[in-house]
Structure 1
Amino acid sequence: MCGITGWVDYERDLTAEREAALAMTRTMSFRGPDDEGLWTDPHVALGHRRLAVIDVAGGVQPMSEGPATIVYSGETYNFRELRRDLEAHGHRFRTRSDTEVVLQAYLRWGPNLVDRLNGMFAFAIWDRRTEELLLARDRMGIKPLYYAPTPHGVLFGSEPKAILANPMFTARIDDEGLCEVLTMVKTPGHAVFSGMREVEPGHTVRVSREGRTDRTYWSLTAREHTDDIPATVRHVRELLDDIVERQLISDVPLCTLLSGGLDSSALTALADQALGPESVRSFAVDFVDETGGFIPDELRDTSDTPYVHDVAKHVGSLHNDVVLSTAQLASSRVMDRVLRARDLPGLGDMDSSLFLLFEEIRRHSTVALSGESADEVFGGYRWFHDPAAVNADTFPWAGTSFSNGRDLLDTDLVARAAKYQSQRYHEALDEVPYLPGVSAYERRMREICYLHLTRMVRVLLDRKDRLSMAVGLEVRVPYCDHRLVEYVFNTPWSYKTYDGREKSLLRGAVADALPESVVQRVKSPYPATQNASYEEAIRKQLGDVLADSSAPIQPYLNTEAVRDALRHPVGNSSLQRDRIALERAVTLNDWLAAYRPAHV
């Protein structure tokens, strides 16, 4: 996995800037706890922090071969096939690592090597022949990669904090960046901080003395779907079997994240089958409950735990429940670690619990398989099936409790954020690829799927990457395999709901591997604590912010709305929505206090 960073400057000798480059590299020590490397040449410095997963002894970076040097983060799942192909062309290898395969592939195919890769990756290659830097990112944006142009080159890193550590860059935010923070949308290329960009998923960026060139090597396209429903279900299963088998490759302990939902249960069952006699290890999150049991709310009809245990028993996994308390979820240590991991305001207890889950998993495993993105790929969220949400002139998840609460912020700021969100929504619609001759409803559902796959899933992927890598855990996301994404995106919506339910294709493909309770379970989002003591803790934190006239969020608050919210009895909620608004205000203040971005 790892963290990468670098600095290119065509007007200065960067061999004299090792300390600054090393400081950038060390911002990502949690991403790569196993090793550190720095390589410099007159106009480039490349830094690497390593989490050793494949070829623990041999995959040290930065890695050089002939005129090229690479720093690489992620996994290339087809590296064995590529290695055989390269060997047939006369290439010879010194290690068993996928990093060396990517480097040799560059020497064979140049920047077009990305077309041949199947995986989650972000990497940088410096070519001494041309003095050019190639930045590349995987198709779905699983692995992050940011860059900031400078007058004579570029700064880059797996996370913004690497760029922020360089004295040439100052943390600034404009109105657009602030609005980006307040929307549950990740605008392609946007990095929130002024002057910083994100390498877009499915893109490469080449940096030379002449400037930068951005190339799209992959995007969702419209293709005619010719398989009938039974053949489609079979092909989805074939793809999943192949994907899971590939993503089980590891030289270190591996596990699955198990929520008891269809997505994670399917991966756990398929992983167990692929491992043969070896039992898969699984982990689930739960919460200490002091109120007497689970209470259905506006998002969740059922508790995860009974379904988790059904799956663990059914497949015979080595299962662990990670049970969390309010003291853990609201602790200053955890909230600060989450903030520093994300470089942005977070999602309250849903971030804290995920971080704590990953922290506990890391004591046992270095790699985990996650069901993230299945809802976006197969159409799992409730609003996919809500005509009002589908037909609204905005992102279908906007206005739900899943989106970030803004009710406590300044009304003018909220209005600007709403306008910004509308602008981004219509930009996204302009990108959607269509097939001729389809019904208006099928056309609209293609739009809804596209919005989720290009705007929403990237928020969740970034969250999962940052919080897992903050504890040195590599999380793999099989449902983001581009072959599966392309295939399912182009199936008619009527196929995706052929049994009258959500995620019909996935359910049909994996039903034989799961207990009936999970096959029939209705979609439930990632869990959140229902313990009233957690809301009390967040209210106290927000009360302290309100009382502090120097708190950086003060100019952005609707003070009367905050006072009114704090007067309400604990748990008197429109529940999840109200608490998200409280958490949002607290985490936004924490972020402004920690990063101190100048408002420009």
Structure 2
Amino acid sequence: MCGIAGWVDFARPVDRDVARAMTDTMARRGPDAEGVWIADHVALGHRRLSVIDLEGGCQPMTSGETPGSRAALTYSGETYNFQELRSQLVSLGHSFTTRSDTEVVLRAYLQWGPALVTRLEGIYAFAVWDQDKEELLLVRDRMGVKPLYYAETPSGVLFGSEPKAILAHPAFKAVLDAEGLRDILSVAKVPGHAIFRGMREVPAGCTVRVNRAGLTEDRYWQLEVADHTDSLERTVHTVRELLESVVEQQMISDVPLCTLLSGGLDSSSLTALAAQVSRAKGQGRIRSCSVSDPDLDGTAGEGANEDHIYARLLAEHVGSLHSELPLRAPDLLDPALRSSVLKAYDLPIAKGDEHASLHLLFDIVRQHSTVALSGECGDEVFGGYRWQRQEDVVLSSTFPWVYEGRQNYQGNDGVFTPDLLAKLDLDTYERDCHSAAVAEISAGDRIADPTEARYREVTYLALTRHAQVLFDRKDRMSMACGLEVRVPFADHRLVEYTFNVPWAMKSFDGREKSLLRAAMKDLLPEAVAQRIKTPYPSIRADAYNRTLRERLAAVILDGSSPLAPLLSSATQARVRGQGAAALESGMSRAALETTLQLDDWLRTYDVDVVL
């Protein structure tokens, strides 16, 4: 993976120093090399993390100066089928000077133009400047695993892998408006929204074209409701075949690779498959890494987390070289770490301990590996969440994870002013976002059974909204450490196939992730294969929550805080009288975390609040 940035300005020359400044904001995404390319009205920047063809593949990459085939590319990600595409392109008369997938993508554009996106398999975000057309093409992968942001200007566009790249351009000012604050405080991830006013995220499976006529956003991939005609036996077999193919394909690397092993069904399946591939190719033992600590709780208060026990069991079973990172509450509260997490994410977050733990883990993993396989999207694909299985939750008229328990900022104990909460109207906002999301697939028009249609909608919401939050988290925390994380369960071929499997078949034995369990049972220890899903481990130490309350109380009492105009006078009065004890009820940990992060974010990024 890498970091890309740049801009197009059809009214004036671009500035190399500004392009370099935009690119350098993402130095940690690409510690191995950097480059800036300037021509006419465009600047392309690149920070490289070398994974394939370490000597070649430097960027931005250009095609030469032959009229009709002049193009330049800045690219982040991995095109897993680049070797097959390379062979096709050679047969069509193209020649190559590197072994990189970057050159394959560039040559594919020269051959097929914007239609190249339908041929790519992988996780990627890139920008191609077509000199002959005077047109910029921005592309994001089908599932939105790799990020790409842009901001339209009166005479062109700014773009970057992260918001910080766009913020480094003098033409863009960080402003938070009501829509952005709704996105921060709600649990509805809206494709395209980017929090900062005037900035957008290229939606998953979309392209953006920019030329003198303006800007056009187009979708090139969409999940579609269709009939599933395979038997249960055939479906289980196909899932296994797809997983084996995907994992083998995603293990292509010229640098050390490991797996992130929690001991759950998803990560254990990937580790077992990766170990199988490694043995078959004579590559030795696969590395695996996990987190371990008694301060962590993966069972919502019902006892200490036991993930590390199952991770060790799986590692021993498949013979991986396993390492553990011990975490304790004080580690995750370290101000320097919290600041690093915020600057990596560019946005306030509700689960600070999870992001901090990932940042620490990835920092350790990067000492021995440059690439890691992770189990993100396994729950979304196979139905692992409780809110995907509990019928009353599934049949609710909003996002099921909202119905199950949104962290509510409203009410007498709310930290924000009643007028602000009324203006934001988060409940209506989330309902409207939900209605817009389910309208994208119209499952009820294709599926006669309304309950099955709703299960299909919930799967769609999980894949297009919920998974995006996980992809963002994993990308930012890993790339802040110069680590590339790949997500085999998000491969679009696996997603397309499993999406239309009826819910009764997905849960044929009455358990979560029945299909995956059946497909992988011969490769896993019985205890791991039959293990009940547990949530992502979070800190359960009382001292952690107490510290959050103390820090937020200090913010509330700080008249210079940028949050001050937004805070409830009643809450301010209670904190003045009772101190941090005033926050012991009425605010969840997620609310504490988000509010603290919001204050820090407004200060750090010098954000103007215009509500």
Q: Give the TM-score taking structure 1 as reference length.
A: 0.95
Establish whether residue 217 from structure 1 lines up as the match of residue 220 from structure 2. Answer: yes
Match for residue 270 of structure 1 among 243, 268, 273: 273
The one-character-per-residue Cα deviations of 1:473-504 (angstroms, maximum 9, x if unpaired) are 00000011000001110110111110101111
Give, in whole Å, the separation in 1 of the partners of 2:433 and 2:137: 28
Matched, 1:136 2:139: yes
1:350 maps to: 354
The residue that corresponds to 1:441 in the other structure is 451
Select 1:314's aligned residue among 301, 312, 317: 317
Distance, in Å, in 1 between the alignment partners of 2:179 and 2:480 is 28
Q: Structure 1 residue 532: deviation in Å?
A: 2.2
Summarize the alignment of residues 115-514 of structure 1 with structure 2, pairs less than 5 Å apart.
115-276=118-279, 277=282, 278-287=284-293, 289=295, 296-297=299-300, 302-346=305-349, 347-400=351-404, 407-415=414-422, 416-434=425-443, 436-514=446-524
Instruction: Give distance in 1, aligned partners of 2:407 and 2:60.
Output: 40
Q: Is the 8 A contact 2:297 2:539 kept in 1?
A: no
Partner of 1:59 in structure 2? 57
Counterpart CA distance in 1 for 2:486 and 2:298 is 32
Q: 1:130-188: per-residue Cα shift (whole Å, max 9, x none)?
A: 11111001000000001111111110000111001000111112101110111222211
Q: What's the secondary structure of 2:348's corresponding residue?
A: coil
Contact 2:396-2:403 within 8 A present in 1 as well = no
The structure 1 residue matched to 2:534, chosen from 524, 534, 549, is 524
**Residue of 21, 29, 32 corresponding to 1:31:** 29
Matching residue's letter, 1:38: V
Letter in 1 for 2:353: D
Aligned to 1:109: 112
**Code of the aligned partner of 1:19:** D
Contact 1:404–1:580 under 8 Å retained in 2: no
Equivalent position of 1:18 in the other structure: 16
Answer yes or no: is the 8 Å Cα contact 1:184–1:404 preserved in 2.
Answer: no
Q: Within 1, Cα distance between the matches of 2:224 and 2:204?
A: 15
Output the CA distance in 2 between the equivalents of 1:408 and 1:266: 43
Bigger CA drift: 540-549 or 111-120? 540-549
Inter-partner Cα distance in structure 1 for 2:395 and 2:570: 34
1:350 CA drift (Å): 0.8
Partner of 1:78: 81
CA distance in structure 2 between the partners assigned to 1:390 and 1:154 by the alignment: 41
CA contact (8 A) 1:145 1:159 kept: yes
Structure 1, unmatched stretches of 5+, are none
Structure 2 alignment gaps of length 5 or more = 65-69
**Alpha carbons 1:184, 1:459 under 8 Å: kept:** no
Q: Kindly state the Cα deviation for residue 392 of structure 1 after the two structures are TM-superposed.
A: 1.8
Query: Quick one: distance in 1 between partners of 2:404 and 2:347?
Result: 21
DSSP 3-state at the match of 1:422: helix
- Inter-partner Cα distance in structure 2 for 1:497 and 1:388: 17
Partners of 2:303 and 2:73 lie apart in 1 by 45
Q: Is the 8 A contact 2:260 2:288 kept in 1?
A: yes
Residue 534 (structure 1) shift: 1.8
| Offset, 1:328 | 1.6
Q: Out of 230-239 and 192-201, give the one that drifted further.
A: 192-201
Distance in 1 between residues matched to 2:190 and 2:302, nearest whole Å? 26
Contact 2:205/2:221 (<8 A) preserved: yes
CA deviations 1:562-594 (Å, max 9, x no partner) are 757965599x889xx822222122111111121
Deviation at 1:326, TM superposition (A): 2.2
Q: What is the CA deviation profile of residues 495-539 of structure 1, one whole-angstrom value per residue up to 9, with x for unaligned ones?
A: 111010111111111111111111111111211111222223222
1:253-290: per-residue Cα shift (whole Å, max 9, x none)? 1111111111111001100001014111111112354x
Q: CA deviation at 1:550?
A: 1.3
Higher mean C-alpha deviation, range 397-406 or range 453-462: 397-406
Deviation at 1:241, TM superposition (A): 0.1
Q: Are the counterparts in 2 of residues 36 and 49 from structure 1 also a CA contact under 8 Å?
A: yes
In the TM superposition, residue 303 of structure 1 has moved relative to its aligned partner by 2.4
Indicate the residue corresponding to 1:544 in structure 2.
554
Query: Is the contact between residue 38 and residue 47 of structure 1 (CA under 8 Å) also seen in structure 2?
Result: yes
Distance 1:53 1:450, change over 3 A: same
Q: Is contact 1:280–1:318 with CA below 8 Å preserved after alignment?
A: yes
Measured in 2, the distance between the counterparts of 1:483 and 1:296 equals 32
Compared CA separation, residues 362 and 101, structure 1 to 2 (3 A): same
CA contact (8 A) 1:497 1:505 kept: yes
Q: Distance in 2 between matches of 1:491 and 1:413?
A: 43
Instruction: Give 1:301 deviation, angstroms.
Output: 8.3
Classify the secondary structure of the residue corresponding to 1:398: helix
Shift of 1:309: 1.2
Q: Deviations over 1:163-216 (max 9, x none)?
A: 010001111121011101112222111111111111111111111111112221
State the TM-score, normalizing by the size of structure 2.
0.93
| Mapping 1:573-584, distance limit 5 Å | 578-584=588-594
| TM superposition outliers: structure 1 runs of 4+ over 6 Å | none
Which deviates more from structure 2 when the two are superposed, residues 378-387 or residues 23-32? 378-387
> Following the alignment from structure 2 to structure 1, what is the Cα–Cα distance between the partners of residues 196 and 545?
31
Hey, what's the Cα distance between the residues in 2 that align with 1:232 and 1:269? 20
Q: Post-superposition shift, 1:558?
A: 3.7
Cα distance in structure 2, aligned partners of 1:309 and 1:183: 37
Residues 27 and 242 of structure 1: CA distance in aligned 2, closer, same or farther (over 3 Å):
same
* CA RMSD of superposed structures (Å): 2.1
Residue identity (%) = 54
Deviations 1:358-411 (A, max 9, x none): 111111111000000111111110111222321222110015467586754444
Alignment partner of 2:38: what SS? strand
Give me the whole-angstrom Cα distance separating, in 2, the residues matched to 1:491 and 1:59.
40
- Where 2:54 maps in the other structure, the secondary structure is coil
Change (3 A) 1:299 1:398: farther
Task: Please say if residues 300 and 524 of structure 1, whose CA atoms lie closer than 8 Å, have aligned partners that are also in contact.
Answer: no
Partners of 2:41 and 2:114 in 1: CA distance:
20
Cα distance in 2 for partners of 1:568, 1:452 equals 37
